[in-house]
Structure 1
Amino acid sequence: MQNTGNSMAVGLLLVCLTGLVFSEEPPDVKCLVVNVDYVQCMWNGSATPVVNYTFYSRFENGFKECASYVLENSTIVGCDHPYLNLITQRFSKFTTKLKLGNRSFEQFHELKSKVKLNAPVNLTVKNGSDLNLWYYWNHTCNTNCIECEVRHRINGKEWKTILTQKDSYCINLPSNSYLYELQVRGRIGETCGKSDFWSDWSTPVFWGSMRESHGTVANKPSFYSPVQTTILYVVGTIIFFILVIILVRHERIRVILIPVLPDPGKNLTKILAEDNVEEWLPISKGIKEGFKVNYIERVCSVGEYSRNPQSTSESSADQSYSDHSSGSCASLAATN
């Protein structure tokens, strides 16, 4: 008798729940084309339903039951259903149907603008041969209809955004003293039926180092942990004191490491005082020898000649004598 009573209670509870569901409005179904791979429809927007619905959908042909249900707390709240060619099929009218018992609820959906792509992947940065900073990325969706929104910022400041149809972006002549951060997201562009949904932002990529204009480093990632930094400071201090002790106690090592430099002012004073500039100037030995005196000039006395009237023969003899005497007064040089 007790089991029979429990069965009746459960039956009445099910009847009440079913009647409650039938008396309420059916849940609203919202569909989205995910990465042009499958259609995802969810009906838990307002609240998680209390019963499990059976889901059907179609474009032109007959209804197809859901291929993969989405569960939430063991309750069916959505469906992921793949189709063959969503690039073109999403322009057709899409119909969904929720079925519970003998009742069914149908809705019509426009999927042309309901496409959400996956975030771009393989975002990389490269310093090009043209000294510009180049970013590259890929899409998991196989279509040429994607437009991208790129945003980048310097040193964590305000984002700057730009739209592009390419899978690359360039920053002209970057500075190594700045930290560049860049992210990308994509959507179906105008040429293939513009979507209302952007993909999520890609994982950010960084280049450079964060330095402010006055040269101080700000929020720069450290290569050492605090413990390693402390150990380096202690070891460096010990090594410094050991070097000081060695320099103080060992004069020979001190002279080798820190040689005594001569006083150029003192040496110059000594050279000028000794009047030996030739020894100080970088003159070759041959040139120095050329400045020494190596010849002696003999003195020749010269007197005034007075001519007296004489005979023609005497005059010729005197003239010949005079010429001979002049020739004998040539300078003679004798080499030492």
Structure 2
Amino acid sequence: MAVGLLLICLTGLVFSEEPPDVKCLVVNLDHVQCMWNGSANPAVNYTFYSRFENGFKECTSYVLENSTIVGCDHPYEELITLRFSKFTTKLKLGNRSFEQFHGLKSKVKLNAPVNLTVKNGSGLNLCYYWNHTCKTRCIECDVRHRIKGKEWKTILTQNNSYCINLPSNSYLYELQVRGRIKELCGKSDFWSDWSPPVFWGSMRESHSTVTNKPSFYSPLQTTILYVVGTIIFFILVIILVRHERIRVILLPVLPDPGKNLTKILAEDNVEEWLPISKGIKEGFKVNYIEHVCSVGEYSHNPQSTSESSADQSSSDHSSGSSASLAATN
């Protein structure tokens, strides 16, 4: 009798207490997790039921804490769209039940991104890639990275990749990613947990994940190369402008064939452009000495006609006499 009265009193005490508040969360668009251990574990074990549109379904996977039921993980299909519908939960204890309505549209928590890796991207960039275990494109990612353990820098991206421009391999880079449902698909109030960090660069820790580490110049080295190259270029230009001989050697002037041929023909210097050997050219040179002969100019003195005739007669007479004398002899 005493035991029965004690049980009745305990049962009355339980029923007189306020029912526990149930809080539900859509986990990775795979199942709905509802918990009712807000401030402390309940004194009794409740039976849990839930539904979206159809009839109630009893929980298939209870969450236990210190041998007491404190929650339920109930799988549902098509949660990407069902979460926009009204969700109803019911806790039942004996003949009493407590129903509660929930809006799950903004209560989605994804799993942390996985397979976070580092690769050498195009254009001397360092790119990070990752995947999601949830099969949906309605995810935006929050990426944070820091250099040498300093302050985090955060950026929001709609892609599953992120690139850092011109990293220095003398620094240690650390990056983490988390995700959530984006605005166009019913923005969630909950971010996923941060992914495990991935490291790249010098002084990497033993648990870092690095693949295909790129080897290229740091930004400072690249700047120095550009400056030195520019200085060398200007020095060469100055040398070419101020030193004629070096300019001719480095940039010889190409002759004009038409102009040179005209000059050779005008100077009658054919052997200079004919392909004649040096020995033959030497043969054309004068190798003897000719005596100089003095030449005087002949002067003609004009005479009168009579004197010319007399001289001609005398000459003829003299010739005839000479001929006669020769015949007599």
Name the TM-score class by shorter chain. Answer: 0.5 to 0.7
| Higher mean C-alpha displacement, 288-297 vs 151-160 | 288-297
Deviation, structure 1 residue 209: 1.1
Residue 307 to residue 75, structure 1, CA distance change in 2 (3 Å)? farther
Structure 1: how far apart are the matches of 2:211 and 2:318? Answer: 103
Residue 201 to residue 283, structure 1, CA distance change in 2 (3 Å)? farther
CA deviations 1:176-233 (Å, max 9, x no partner) are 1110000000000001100000000000000001599999999999999999999999
| Higher mean C-alpha displacement, 166-175 vs 320-329 | 320-329
CA contact (8 A) 1:57 1:97 kept: yes
**TM-score where L is the length of structure 1:** 0.61
CA contact (8 A) 2:144 2:176 kept: yes
CA contact (8 A) 1:97 1:106 kept: yes
Deviation, structure 1 residue 18: 1.3
Residue 248 to residue 320, structure 1, CA distance change in 2 (3 Å)? closer
Residue 232 to residue 60, structure 1, CA distance change in 2 (3 Å)? closer
Aligned residues: 329
CA contact (8 A) 2:200 2:210 kept: no
Deviation, structure 1 residue 134: 0.4
CA deviations 1:226-282 (Å, max 9, x no partner) are 999999999999999999999999999999999999999999999999999999999
Deviation, structure 1 residue 13: 3.5
Structure 2: how far apart are the matches of 1:319 and 1:205? Answer: 137
| Higher mean C-alpha displacement, 207-216 vs 228-237 | 228-237
Residue 55 to residue 269, structure 1, CA distance change in 2 (3 Å)? farther
Structure 1: how far apart are the matches of 2:229 and 2:326? Answer: 79
CA contact (8 A) 2:173 2:201 kept: yes
Structure 2: how far apart are the matches of 1:91 and 1:107? Answer: 16
Structure 2: how far apart are the matches of 1:203 and 1:325? Answer: 149
Deviation, structure 1 residue 165: 0.2
CA contact (8 A) 1:295 1:335 kept: no
CA deviations 1:18-58 (Å, max 9, x no partner) are 11111110000000000000000000011100100000000
Structure 2: how far apart are the matches of 1:183 and 1:98? Answer: 39
Residue 15 to residue 126, structure 1, CA distance change in 2 (3 Å)? same
| Higher mean C-alpha displacement, 307-316 vs 53-62 | 307-316
Q: Which runs of 5+ in 1 are unaligned?
A: 1-7
Residue 90 to residue 280, structure 1, CA distance change in 2 (3 Å)? same
- Asked if 1:181 corresponds to 2:174, the answer is yes
Structure 2: how far apart are the matches of 1:331 and 1:39? Answer: 170
Percent identity of paired positions between Structure 1 and Structure 2? 91
Aligned CA RMSD, in angstroms, stands at: 16.5
Residue 46 to residue 235, structure 1, CA distance change in 2 (3 Å)? farther
**TM-score where L is the length of structure 2:** 0.62
Structure 1: how far apart are the matches of 2:322 and 2:7? Answer: 157
| Higher mean C-alpha displacement, 68-77 vs 240-249 | 240-249
CA deviations 1:118-164 (Å, max 9, x no partner) are 00000000122421000000000000000000000000000000000
Larger Rg: 2
Structure 1: how far apart are the matches of 2:157 and 2:189? Answer: 17
- Superposed, 1:106-145 pairs within 5 Å as 106-145=99-138
CA contact (8 A) 1:296 1:334 kept: no
Residue 234 to residue 326, structure 1, CA distance change in 2 (3 Å)? farther
| Higher mean C-alpha displacement, 237-246 vs 165-174 | 237-246
Residue 304 to residue 318, structure 1, CA distance change in 2 (3 Å)? farther
CA contact (8 A) 1:91 1:110 kept: yes
| Higher mean C-alpha displacement, 190-199 vs 242-251 | 242-251
| Structure 1 stretches of 4+ moved >6 Å | 211-336
| Higher mean C-alpha displacement, 203-212 vs 288-297 | 288-297
CA contact (8 A) 1:297 1:332 kept: no
Residue 175 to residue 283, structure 1, CA distance change in 2 (3 Å)? farther
Structure 2: how far apart are the matches of 1:112 and 1:126? Answer: 36
Structure 2: how far apart are the matches of 1:260 and 1:144? Answer: 67
| Higher mean C-alpha displacement, 296-305 vs 230-239 | 230-239
Residue 159 to residue 304, structure 1, CA distance change in 2 (3 Å)? farther
Residue 125 to residue 70, structure 1, CA distance change in 2 (3 Å)? same
Structure 2: how far apart are the matches of 1:333 and 1:148? Answer: 149
- Asked if 1:9 corresponds to 2:8, the answer is no
